[in-house]
Amino acid sequence: MHALKNRIEHEMASALGLSAKIKLVEPKTIERSEGKSQRVVDNRQKV
């Protein structure tokens, strides 16, 4: 798992030019978001 984590960090850094800390978790352990998604309306004036 440690080697996989390091490989993902390296691949992301070389592809994006950014470094990020990666945390691997077991499948199906991240909670799904609850509630309804909301639309975003752009009210900026076009010039």
At residue 12, the pLDDT reads: 92
pLDDT, tens digit (0-9, with 9 covering 90-100), for 1-39: 899 999 999 999 999 998 888 999 999 998 888 888 888
At residue 11, the pLDDT reads: 93
- The pTM (predicted TM-score) of the whole model is 0.55
At residue 13, the pLDDT reads: 93
CA distance 33 to 31: 6
Rg (CA), the chain: 18
Q: Let me know the angle formed at the C-alpha of 41 by 37 and 43, rounded to the nearest 5 degrees.
A: 160
CA distance 22 to 9: 6
